[in-house]
């Protein structure tokens, strides 16, 4: 049993990734890398949020593979199932039960403000599923069920964590103290990795073209090719200017994260050299990161992963149940 979580000594971290496609370096630097670093200090719970993934169309067979592969990516990145709880959201019914309760206190005006909903629904706002609209309420349920203190995420999820805080406060004010108020943890440098084909939009698993992202499972030569073809700005200098030269700023940021160097050092190293040189080296650095990661990734069997998920759900279920019972009592349902 994971004592860190059950004995209440350490603060609690909760986070999750949707099994909506292959994970990319944005997911790694925005979320996974932070999670790994937090395992020492916190009691950690990492979820594969499959109910979130079905808010947009998924192929059932592929979804099933993506669930297992998302856990595989957690393990390859250094999440240790002996120290952290890893589970699948749909294995614990308390998530959807609490989401329903929170739906009754969330307002349509809260959800209408959500940037991600506006982006994902685009022009067809009246015709997308209700689940896509209500998605941030399910996310609030995920977080609040575990008395979470900290939620490590990329910048794009900040607004959703703010909503979780607002819903928790609203519920507590109406029905008495029930939920802990969680806090988003966002790392400045890795908060927002942009798309290789469009530096104005974040790198995304469900992007229309694989040229948008460097998947953690891309073969090094494929990743290098994507980098060579990445959009650049006019001019030739390797200088960080996010407003005037967002494409090269994004590539510099990715280089710095992968090589563990700072951006100023890279600017100095590439002074007087062109994009070609820079991109070629970035391809190499990317391969040096991906190769050992992939070796680990392919070392875990499906059976092993299924066992980890089963054990994780058994550990998480009683924690979630305790909060759900308290919530129901405070509501007058029990």
Residue 202 is a catalytic residue: yes
Residue 329 is a catalytic residue: no
Residue 205 is a catalytic residue: yes
142 binds, among ligand ATP, ligand LTN, none (CB under 5 to 8 A by kind): ligand LTN
Structural element, H or E, at residue 87: strand 85-88
| Closer residue to ligand LTN, CB minimum distance, 7 or 115 | 115
With CA atoms as reference, report the closest residue to 312 among 124, 123, 67, 63: 67
Contact predicate 307/87, CB 8 Å: no
With CA atoms as reference, report the closest residue to 231 among 191, 275, 198: 198
Which residue among the candidates 57, 120, 226, 261 is catalytic per the annotation? Answer: 120
> What character string, x for contact with ligand ATP (CB under 6 A) and - otherwise, covers 179-208?
------------xxx--------xxxxx--
Contact predicate 287/218, CB 8 Å: no
Tokens at 24, concatenated: 């990319």
Which residue among the candidates 202, 225, 236, 279 is catalytic per the annotation? Answer: 202
Give least dist CB 116 to ligand LTN, A: 7
> What character string, x for contact with ligand LTN (CB under 6 A) and - otherwise, covers 161-190?
------------------------------
User: Which among 12-20, 164-172, 300-308, 320-328 is the span making contact with ligand ATP, rule CB under 6 A?
Assistant: 12-20
Structural element, H or E, at residue 80: none
287 binds, among ligand LTN, ligand ATP, none (CB under 5 to 8 A by kind): none
CB atoms within 10 A of CB 63: 16
Q: How far, in Å, CA of 257 to CA of 255, rounded?
A: 6
Contact predicate 121/131, CB 8 Å: no
- Give binding residues as ranges: 18-20, 26-27, 142, 154-156, 193, 202-206
Catalytic sites, residue numbers: 120, 202, 205
């Amino acid at each position: 049993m994971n004592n860190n979580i059950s004995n209440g000594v350490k603060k609690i971290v909760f986070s999750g990734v949707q099994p909506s496609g292959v994970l990319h370096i944005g997911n790694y630097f925005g979320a996974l890398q932070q999670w790994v670093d937090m395992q020492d200090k916190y009691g950690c719970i990492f979820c594969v949020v499959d109910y979130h993934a079905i808010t947009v169309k998924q192929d059932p067979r592929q979804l099933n593979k993506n669930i297992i592969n998302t856990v595989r990516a957690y393990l390859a990145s250094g999440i240790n199932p002996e120290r952290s709880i890893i589970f699948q959201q749909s294995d614990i019914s308390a998530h959807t039960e609490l989401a329903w309760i929170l739906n009754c206190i969330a307002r349509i005006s809260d959800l209408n403000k959500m940037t991600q909903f506006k982006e994902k629904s685009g022009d067809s706002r009246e015709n997308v599923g209700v689940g896509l609209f209500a998605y941030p309420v399910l996310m609030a349920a995920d977080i609040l069920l575990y008395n979470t203190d900290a939620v490590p995420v990329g910048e794009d999820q900040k607004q959703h964590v703010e909503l979780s805080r607002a819903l928790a406060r609203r519920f507590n004010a109406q029905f008495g103290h029930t939920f802990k108020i969680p806090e988003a943890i966002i790392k400045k440098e890795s908060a927002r990795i942009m798309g290789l084909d469009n530096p104005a939009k974040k790198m995304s698993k469900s992007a229309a073209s694989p040229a948008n992202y460097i998947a953690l499972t891309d073969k090094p030569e494929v990743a290098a090719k994507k980098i060579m073809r990445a959009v650049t700005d006019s001019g030739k200098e390797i200088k960080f200017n996010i407003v005037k030269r967002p494409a090269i700023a994004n590539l510099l940021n990715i280089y710095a994260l992968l090589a563990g160097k700072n951006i100023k050092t890279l600017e100095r190293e590439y002074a007087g050299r062109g994009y070609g040189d820079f991109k070629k080296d970035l391809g190499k650095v990317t391969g040096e990161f991906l190769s050992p990661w992939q070796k680990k990734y392919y070392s875990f069997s499906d059976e092993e992963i299924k066992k980890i998920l089963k054990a994780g759900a058994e550990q998480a279920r009683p924690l979630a149940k305790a909060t759900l019972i308290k919530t129901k009592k405070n509501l007058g349902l029990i």
